[in-house]
Chain A
């Protein structure tokens, strides 16, 4: 079974609008971390935001927030006030307490329309 599922291969959003990128995960660990990365066309992976499994509050970092629903095993990324520079691939990832490995989804390509 896939550890991380991103069901939206591509998304479009109007500039200045908000957009939600979906991510669901599968783990039997009680302790885990969830990450979102941005990959512009240049190729480098940029860390955006982190959510711990025991965090009671949703994580926020500037225009990025994470809608964490533990019972549903979802960790959706919300980007508010989209900018043209937000056009990129976005990857959701998980790290379990047991083990050193990170698990990545297949990514969502976001295009911001002027």
Chain B
């Protein structure tokens, strides 16, 4: 059974804290993605990575950074959390090529920044 796992389902942090969200996939996928989901706005891409140590900015990268040191792991970092980063964060992975390769999603992390 293929899986994308995220380190936490729920997380509460304080303003100014450094926050790490971890994502691991076991499908040997080249591509990994971090999305943010807010009501009425759908999924917005923060960053994605198409190979180890490679990354590209998505639509809303401000206030976030990422790290991909190993193929199976993609981390999202909030350097200094702010209340407007309270949201649902979804990690996904997909095979590199082929328009028929869907994304597989993790269960999501609901982050609250107080």
Contacts and interface: CB of A to CB of B under 8 A. Distances in A.
Contacts of A50: 100, 102
A93 to B, nearest CB: 8
B22 to A, nearest CB: 17
Contacts, number: 61
Nearest to B49: A100
Contact-residue size bin, chain A (C-beta under 8 Å from the other chain): 20 to 34
Contact-residue size bin, chain B (C-beta under 8 Å from the other chain): 20 to 34
Contact of B31 (A96, A97, A100, A107): A100
A101 interface: yes
Interface string B30-42: 0101010000111
B53 interface: no
A47 B105 CA distance: 9
Interface stretch (A14-22, A30-38, A63-71, A76-84): A30-38
A53 interface: yes
Interface in A23-44: 31-33, 35, 37, 42-44
Interface of B: 31, 33, 35, 40-43, 45, 48, 50, 58, 88, 90, 92, 94, 96, 99-108, 110
Interface of A: 6, 9, 31-33, 35, 37, 42-45, 47, 50, 52-53, 91, 93, 95-97, 100-102, 104-107
**10 A-B pairs with the lowest CB-CB distances in the bound complex, closest first:** A33-B99, A106-B42, A45-B105, A43-B108, A104-B43, A47-B102, A44-B107, A100-B31, A95-B99, A104-B42
